Amino acid sequence: MLSKHDGALIRQSGPEVLKIEAWGKNGLRIRATALAALDESRDWALLPKGPERAEITVEGESALVRNGDIAARLSPSGRISFLNKAGEVILEERWRNRDVPGATYNSTNVSAREFRPAVGGTYRLAYRFEASEGEKLFGMGQYQDGCLELKGCVLELAQRNSQASVPFLLSSRGYGLLWNNPAIGRASFGKNFTEFSAERSPQLDIWVTAGATPALIEESYASVTGTVPMMPEFAMGFWQCKLRYKTQDELMSVAREYKKRGLPISVIVSDFFHWPMQGDWKFDSRYWPDPEGMVKELAAMGIELMVSIWPTVDKRSENFKEMAEKGLLVRSERGINTTMDFMGDCIFFDATNPKAREFIWAKAKKNYYDKGIKIFWLDEAEPEFSVYDYDNYRYSSGSVLETGNIYPVGYAQAFYEGMVKEGRTDAINLLRCAWAGSQRYGALVWSGDIDTTFESFRNQFAAGLNMGLAGIPWWTTDIGGFGGGDPADPAYRELLVRWFQYGVFCPLFRLHGVRSPGGAKSGGPNEVWSFGDEAYGVIKDPHNYEGFDPAEVGLTRSIVIGKHSGTGGLIERFRSMGISVDRSRAVPLLEMTRAMSCRRKRDLTNCELMGIYLENESLPKAA
């Protein structure tokens, strides 16, 4: 039975309720459940519904729902086909049933929308679509397998260290699809069909758009999931980081040395275990005696201090008892209530709980923000369970099987909303993970604890491009990789130089890693002068960057944000390195690329350039 309600098409067929409605410009949201009614209370990655209303035409048991450049055609049997502005089918559900009119005759009896009962009254869901010959697929977030084109790939929809599930799919057939479900699951892009699945969920929920170009598709997607804040000027410079500076004196000596050598530096990082206990969220005064003085001296040198925040709360922390009593922690469903065993018996704060977000921000504000620290490193953002038994953990939002992938969104939200409340208009923070919608909370994502090899380096190219296409524009890697790398090894020095060439064109220019020898607790030296005179000479010499003019390719701030005509972020990065840039060369490109606004969708300008600089003949080549 078909009906119209509040601008949406509703189909009731047996136990299934199906709803199709306009959501944003050129977008349709499709939800379905086999429960008694749809849950309308959660939009997950989507912003609240706008004023758009679909044009709905009903003819008997068939219907056509149109919103701008996309339409959904519903057959009498319930099969949905998606059409572009020209009326061409760009995506359609996969049904294999000999008894359903309009479906391919097939005795295997496989439905496109599948609800398998699960313990607890929800379902294990699957949603299947026909495969199209020659179709190319991109996006879906960050995976460490080196695949840019995803056809033939099977992806785990789950958050892990160095893996970020951001389930927006961009197709060469002219559509984009958001799997708007934070459940643990899987996406399979086979030659025979495409399938999304969720381990536990009460209903299917997708959003689909169509557009004549990838840029238009991305713009529509960003309009319904949010856009990033403008990158602060200081954040476009060089960030110095290593596994851990043990003391205030050690960190300040590095900052002073950069200035003594005349090297550009915008941010320096106080990484993990600068605190007494995990979950205290404050400096250990034995090693960091004067945070205010440190921040003031760094500011006088033109350097911002970033501090590391972990979501872990040690059971010995001064905050543990209060947080446990107030229900602000993630809990285990069975066994001992421990979520991470690292330098202590720890439980994560529950980033899906609004009260927990308020609690952690209050501590960070008092102990960091009020002391002048205006940018945070929100580490362990997946979060990184010691054992990834997703069925054994529960958030305020629901079981991790059902809602687990949304954790990094709440983590970013806690600090972003706190900083905005304090008057920041360009709040960004570094995170190790993301999900769809993270970008609207100023999430600047890096690719996690990756290997220090050329193979790992190559994987980051695909990871970064697909993150950009999945709507996460502010993204980067650890220059040099994270796990290992001997500064005295000639082979590693070559890798580091190559990674610097790449890093200078990433949205964030940041050196980080645990170098060896040096121990797992603090790591070896990781400053630009730590890798021998030859590598240092290449890294610091501005002439080695002159073969590629950011103005020539339009990387001015005018183009990056689409409507501001101020200083170009990457131009300033180059100028801080002593490189002359001719801004006038960017003017013609400005008018051509003004639509490439990250505030309206995503920034691919940097991503599209990743790797180009490796062809510069003035630098040594890899063997």
Radius of gyration of the chain, Cα coordinates, nearest whole angstrom: 25
- 390 with 158: CB under 8 angstroms? yes
Alpha carbons 355 and 363: distance in angstroms, whole number: 13
- Say what the pLDDT of residue 305 is: 98
Q: Beta-strand (E) ranges in 105-232?
A: 113-117, 123-130, 137-142, 154-157, 164-171, 175-179, 185-189, 193-201, 204-210
- Say what the pLDDT of residue 100 is: 64
If you search the block for the tokens 């509703």, which residue do you land on? Answer: 10
β-pairing, 89-92 vs 70-74, is unpaired
- Say what the pLDDT of residue 575 is: 56
Bridge partners, residue 196, by sequence: 127, 187
Q: Residue 63 above 50 pLDDT?
A: yes
Residue 615 burial (CB count, 10 A): 11
Compute the average pLDDT of residues 251-259. Answer: 98
Q: Which of 93, 382, 572, 603 is catalytic?
A: 382
3-class secondary structure, 242: coil
DSSP 509-524: EEE--BBSSS-TTT-B
If you search the block for the tokens 């300008």, which residue do you land on? Answer: 605
- Closest of 127, 145, 164 to residue 467, by C-alpha: 164
- Say what the pLDDT of residue 71 is: 98
- Closest of 67, 71, 92 to residue 81, by C-alpha: 92
Q: Residue 470 above 80 pLDDT?
A: yes
3-class secondary structure, 427: coil
Average pLDDT, the chain: 88
Alpha carbons 610 and 604: distance in angstroms, whole number: 10
- Say what the pLDDT of residue 586 is: 35
414-460 pLDDT, tens per residue?
999 999 999 999 999 999 999 999 999 999 999 999 999 999 999 99
- Say what the pLDDT of residue 105 is: 77
Q: Residue 613 above 80 pLDDT?
A: no
292-320 pLDDT, tens per residue?
999 999 999 999 999 999 999 999 999 99
Bridge partners, residue 509, by sequence: 238
Residue 617 burial (CB count, 10 A): 7
Alpha carbons 57 and 73: distance in angstroms, whole number: 10
Alpha carbons 80 and 327: distance in angstroms, whole number: 43
β-pairing, 304-309 vs 375-378, is parallel
Q: Does 449 participate in catalysis according to the annotation? A: yes
- 270 with 245: CB under 8 angstroms? yes
If you search the block for the tokens 């899987």, which residue do you land on? Answer: 186
- Domains of the chain, start order: 2-132+173-225 (2.60.40.1760), 233-615 (3.20.20.80)
Provide the whole-model pTM: 0.90
**616 HSE (CA, 13 A, CB side):** 22
If you search the block for the tokens 């991470």, which residue do you land on? Answer: 340
Cα 251 to Cα 173, 242, 243: the distances in Å are 51, 10, 12
Query: How many percent of the chain have pLDDT more than 90?
Result: 81
417 residue type, one letter: E
Query: How many percent of the chain have pLDDT more than 70?
Result: 85
3-55 pLDDT, tens per residue?
999 999 999 999 999 999 999 999 999 999 999 999 999 999 999 999 999 99
Alpha carbons 237 and 562: distance in angstroms, whole number: 20
**Residues 6 or more apart in contact with residue 417 via CB below 8 angstroms:** 357, 361, 441
- Say what the pLDDT of residue 541 is: 82
If you search the block for the tokens 């002159």, which residue do you land on? Answer: 546
126 residue type, one letter: A
498-533 pLDDT, tens per residue?
999 999 889 999 999 999 886 657 889 999 999 999
- Say what the pLDDT of residue 527 is: 97
Alpha carbons 287 and 563: distance in angstroms, whole number: 45
Q: Which of 379, 380, 478, 494 is catalytic?
A: 379
If you search the block for the tokens 């951001």, which residue do you land on? Answer: 166
522 alpha-carbon distance from chain centroid: 27
Q: Which of 156, 449, 486, 489 is catalytic?
A: 449
